[in-house]
Structure formats: C-alpha cells, structure tokens
C-alpha cells in the first residue's frame, strides 16, 4: 500500500531522491539523511506499515527477510565484526518521527551503552 503523504513511501517509489543502497520486491534500504554514526542505514518495507504496532502474523516472513537483509548490510558495510545496533522507534514515547515502519542500522563507532 502506498501513502501519498508518507515520505518513506515516496522514497521507496523513488519519487523523492535518497541514497538507496539495496532494493528488492519487498524492501528498500537507504542512507539516513542525518547520520548519527558512520554507518546509519534505514531499512523499510515498500508497502506502508505505520509502525511495529501494525505488524501482524502475516508479516512474519517480511520481518524475517528484513532482518536477514540488515545482517547482510552489516557485513557489506563492514560493521558485522565490530558490532552494530538495530533500532525501531515506535510511537511518540519511542521517538518515532516518520510514520512508516523503519529499522535503523547503526555502527562504525562505539555506540553509547544506554538504550533508553
């Protein structure tokens, strides 16, 4: 499903430019526009889901595939051995700003130990 007013739907459809580094029929991965670490990628489903709250059992294979892509990107971007963090901010208290499900992949430096 495509949401016309959703910035990540527009990125997935290449209607607005971004540095896309991976794409298949289900997912797109691109560089975060304001990187918080040397490696800061965003991985999203092409089909619009608002957040993790919208993920149902029928999305299990999609989410499994998405995590597999993140693992491969971590290798490709050279952080698999040094370590990295995968984050999905959900809702206001979770710090979610963009309302299209996305997973941050952060690495390339020692990240702060705190997660909250």
Residue closer to ligand 5GP by CB (options 18, 79) is: 18
Among the listed residues 48, 100, 102, 104, the single catalytic one is 102
Whether 30 and 11 have beta carbons less than 8 Å apart is answered as yes
**Site of tokens 């989410």:** 63
User: What's the sign of the alpha-carbon dihedral 82, 19, 68, 90?
Assistant: positive
Q: Is 34 in the site for ligand 5GP (CB under 6 A)?
A: yes
Return the C-alpha torsion angle 32, 37, 78, 114, nearest 10. Answer: -120
Write the interaction track for ligand 5GP spanning residues 68-97; mark x where CB under 6 A is met and - where it is not: ---------------------x-----xxx
**Site of tokens 């992949």:** 105
The least distance separating Zn ion from the CB of residue 96, rounded to whole angstroms, comes to 13
Q: Is 98 in the site for ligand 5GP (CB under 6 A)?
A: yes
User: Within 13 A of 51's CA, how many CA atoms are on the CB side?
Assistant: 14
Q: Is 7 in the site for ligand 5GP (CB under 6 A)?
A: yes
Binding site for ligand 5GP (CB under 6 A): 7, 18, 30-34, 42, 89, 95-98
């Amino acid at each position: 499903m495509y949401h016309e007013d959703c910035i990540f739907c527009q990125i997935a459809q290449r209607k607005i430019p971004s540095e896309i580094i991976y794409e298949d029929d289900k997912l797109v991965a691109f560089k975060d526009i304001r990187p918080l670490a040397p490696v800061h990628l965003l991985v999203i489903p092409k089909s619009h889901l608002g957040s993790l709250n919208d993920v149902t059992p029928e999305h299990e294979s999609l989410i499994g595939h998405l995590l597999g892509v993140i693992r491969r990107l971590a290798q490709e971007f050279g952080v698999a051995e040094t370590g990295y963090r995968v984050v999905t901010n959900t809702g206001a208290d979770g710090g979610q700003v963009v309302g299209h499900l996305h997973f941050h992949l952060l690495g390339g430096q020692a990240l702060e130990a705190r997660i909250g």
